[in-house]
């Protein structure tokens, strides 16, 4: 293949972008076609250069935040929202949660690259994304999931480069953050009767509530209130997994023209007991309200932590989620 047939966009800070991995990538890709991002600000500059050179395909190396940051940079550089005119993306599994790469990658970054070099004619999928506050992402949410993420970041800051650091750079770190900080804080709030309440209003055309068996049990017109009451979290997305293989949005497997909105009301005790079924997406008990929608407004009783693709954004009391069809085209190796 020619040197400009495809490019590699690497987050130099990603957990698995090691010198050994970089060396193996350089054996497969011309150095002029490898682009290194050291900060978030690098993404837009590199996206401009990549679009200018006209690569038909670009592989991204990093976690979900890296991929989403680059997707947003590409859309910003192109001046439009939609996959037309953008390069096809390959997602290399080089991050932490790797929800997107689990959707399309074999799990081995080097194996996927070698397969593409050998045979660049690959299957692909057009992926819709969620838009909120001008950012595109495959999953995001507010509430306890973002609280855990904030506590995890604080835990890593406290640990620093000590001997426990390697143990916390995976899903174990999130459980430690939950049991040491998030869980006790939520229990204290529950005892004091301090609950987050939300109101979800449909802003698009028809939206639907989905029953335990996946049936559309109720329709909502534009302007109708879909949910109002207490919640632990609300999650929106277009892919079933939100990291580490946790299938918290399983309805997205069966629809392409809606995003799934999940209102989480399950108690901590029930969630822990049912964790294997929740993780696999097979849980069918009480505690979740699921909706298929294209545009909604979520109003919260107080500012709550908000995360996008596993990265903490800040605190919000109002969020507008909107579906963007065919936002990007991804290579698929599985």
Same domain, 73 and 198: no
Same domain, 306 and 188: yes
pLDDT at 194: 77
Same domain, 35 and 147: no
DSSP E strand boundaries for 39-167: 57-62, 88-93, 123-132, 135-137, 139-143
> Pick from 97, 121, 145: which residue ends a domain?
121
Rounded (to 5) percent helix, strand, coil in the chain: 35, 35, 35
pLDDT at 126: 92
Indicate whether 130 belongs to any domain: no
Same domain, 116 and 143: no
pTM, to two decimals: 0.89
Q: Which of 109, 103, 107 is nearest to 138 (CA)?
A: 103
Indicate whether 129 belongs to any domain: no
Indicate whether 127 belongs to any domain: no
What residues in the chain have per-residue pLDDT under 50?
1-3
In angstroms, the CA 178 to CA 186 distance is 10
Same domain, 115 and 145: no
Length of the chain: 334
pLDDT at 81: 58
CB atoms within 10 A of CB 277: 12
* Residues 289/265, Cβ–Cβ less than 8 Å: yes
Domain of 48, CATH number, reads 3.40.50.10330
What's the structural domain count of the chain? 2
Indicate whether 40 belongs to any domain: yes
Same domain, 96 and 156: no
Indicate whether 132 belongs to any domain: no
Q: Which of 166, 136, 263 is nearest to 210 (CA)?
A: 263
Same domain, 111 and 228: no
Same domain, 150 and 288: yes
Angle between helix axes 42-53 and 64-78 (nearest 10 degrees) is 60
User: Residue 72's domain spans which residues?
Assistant: 6-121
Same domain, 161 and 185: yes
């Amino acid at each position: 293949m020619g040197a400009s047939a495809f490019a590699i966009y690497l987050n130099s800070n990603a957990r698995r972008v090691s010198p050994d991995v970089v060396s193996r990538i350089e054996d497969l890709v011309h150095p002029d076609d490898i682009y290194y991002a050291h900060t978030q600000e690098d993404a837009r500059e590199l996206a401009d250069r990549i679009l200018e050179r006209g690569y038909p395909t670009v592989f991204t190396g990093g976690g979900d935040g890296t991929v989403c940051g680059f997707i947003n940079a590409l859309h910003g550089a192109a001046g439009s929202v939609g996959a037309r005119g953008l390069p096809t993306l390959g997602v290399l599994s080089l991050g932490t949660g790797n929800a997107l790469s689990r959707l399309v990658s074999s799990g081995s970054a080097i194996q996927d690259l070698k397969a593409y070099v050998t045979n660049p004619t690959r299957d692909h999928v057009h992926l819709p994304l969620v838009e909120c506050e001008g950012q595109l992402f495959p999953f995001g949410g507010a509430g306890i999931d973002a609280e855990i993420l904030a506590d995890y970041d604080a835990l890593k800051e406290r640990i620093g480069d000590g001997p426990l650091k390697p143990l916390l750079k995976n899903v174990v770190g999130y459980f430690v953050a939950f049991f040491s900080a998030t869980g006790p804080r939520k229990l204290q709030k529950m005892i004091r009767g301090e609950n987050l309440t939300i109101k979800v209003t449909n802003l698009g055309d028809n939206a639907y509530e989905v029953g335990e068996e996946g049936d559309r049990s109720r329709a909502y017109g534009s302007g109708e209130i879909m949910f109002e009451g207490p919640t632990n979290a609300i999650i929106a997305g277009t892919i079933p997994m939100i990291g580490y293989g946790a299938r918290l949005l399983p309805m997205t497997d069966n629809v392409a023209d809606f995003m799934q909105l999940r209102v989480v009301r399950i108690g901590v005790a029930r969630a822990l007991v049912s964790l294997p079924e929740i993780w696999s997406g097979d849980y069918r008990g009480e505690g979740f309200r699921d909706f298929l929608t294209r545009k909604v407004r979520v109003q919260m009783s107080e500012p709550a932590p908000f995360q996008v693709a596993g990265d903490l954004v800040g605190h919000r009391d109002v969020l507008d989620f909107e579906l963007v069809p065919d936002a990007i085209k991804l290579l698929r190796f599985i």
